[in-house]
Amino acid sequence: MRTKMRFNMRKGAAALAGGVLALGVLTACGDDDAASGSPFDKKGQAASDQGGSGGGKNDSGGKGGKVPAELVGVWTTGSVSTINYEDAMTGALAPPSGTHSELTLKSDGSYSQNGLLQSTVYNCTTSLFVMEEGKASVQGDKITFKPSKLKTTMQNTCSKSGNHTNKDGEKKTTVDTFELTEDEYGPLLRLTDDTGASSDYRPEK
């Protein structure tokens, strides 16, 4: 919603999210032919398939699941632009550009991902929200995401033609390489798609 946000959206998140961001910039500049997209790509890597405490905030699923314990939980990723636009008339600041994605993995193999991709140019803001649910399975250092539900909501403050709510998005199975590691900021789940684009997720606090 995957920046990929694996929102996210996992689905070729990187490429998809990039396309949506480009779309946001185009529509923000007044393009009335805004198209819809579903960007979200999940990225991250797990270290082992054995047990252990989960890296993300624990959200238990069924028993004897398809996802190793260290991947079970809630993981987040995102970034916000440091560039802000100010309304010349009111002096109010426009919403910042940025992304945010929350990936929840359960031990029974179910997953969900919610993502927001937002682009602001001057006084025009384009926001894309993606909600995805499905099944995940792990084999070695590969994690496969098979969505059963994918909905997108697009809102553009300057061009209404492309706006939509809860529109069905393309449900495409994706396979990411995952790595569970740690840096100076703590645990880190890195998901890398088949193009080499990666996203770093942190445990929800």
Q: What is the pLDDT of residues 125-155, one digit of tens each?
A: 899 999 999 999 999 999 999 999 999 999 9
Question: Does residue 1 lie in a domain region?
Answer: no
| Residue 139 DSSP symbol | E
Closest CA to 7 of 134, 195, 108: 134
Query: Using CA atoms, how far apart are residues 52 and 70, in angstroms rounded to an integer?
Result: 6
Residue 192, pLDDT above cutoff 90: yes
* Whole-number pLDDT of residue 82: 52
Residue 204, pLDDT above cutoff 70: yes
**Torsion of the alpha carbons at 51, 53, 58 and 59, rounded to the nearest 10:** 10
* Whole-number pLDDT of residue 141: 94
* Whole-number pLDDT of residue 87: 58
- Burial group, residue 96, by CB count within 10 angstroms (0-12, 13-18, 19+): middle
First to last CA, the chain: 20
Question: Does residue 187 lie in a domain region?
Answer: yes
Alpha helices in the chain (DSSP H): 13-28
Question: Does residue 62 lie in a domain region?
Answer: yes
* pLDDT tier for residue 16 given thresholds of 50, 70 and 90: very low
* Whole-number pLDDT of residue 155: 92
Q: Indicate the number of domains in the chain.
A: 1
Residue 47 CB neighbours (<10 A):
17
Query: Using CA atoms, how far apart are residues 92 and 139, in angstroms rounded to an integer?
Result: 50
Question: Does residue 162 lie in a domain region?
Answer: yes
Among 63-72, 182-191, 194-203, whose mean pLDDT is lowest? 63-72
Question: Does residue 61 lie in a domain region?
Answer: yes
Across the range 53-82, mean pLDDT stands at 67
* Whole-number pLDDT of residue 66: 77
Residue 167, pLDDT above cutoff 60: yes
* Partners of 127 in beta bridges: 118, 155
* Whole-number pLDDT of residue 44: 38
Structure tokens at 118: 């937002």
Question: Does residue 60 lie in a domain region?
Answer: yes
* Conformational region of residue 161, where left means phi above 0, alpha means psi within -120 to 50, and beta covers everything else: alpha
* Whole-number pLDDT of residue 123: 79
* pLDDT tier for residue 98 given thresholds of 50, 70 and 90: confident
- How far are the Cα atoms of 45, 79, 148, 161, 187 from residue 182, in angstroms, in the given order? 11, 19, 32, 44, 4
* Whole-number pLDDT of residue 73: 95
- Structural domain boundaries, residue 177: 13-80+91-203
Q: Which residues contact 161 (CB under 8 A, 6 or more apart)?
A: 32, 33, 34
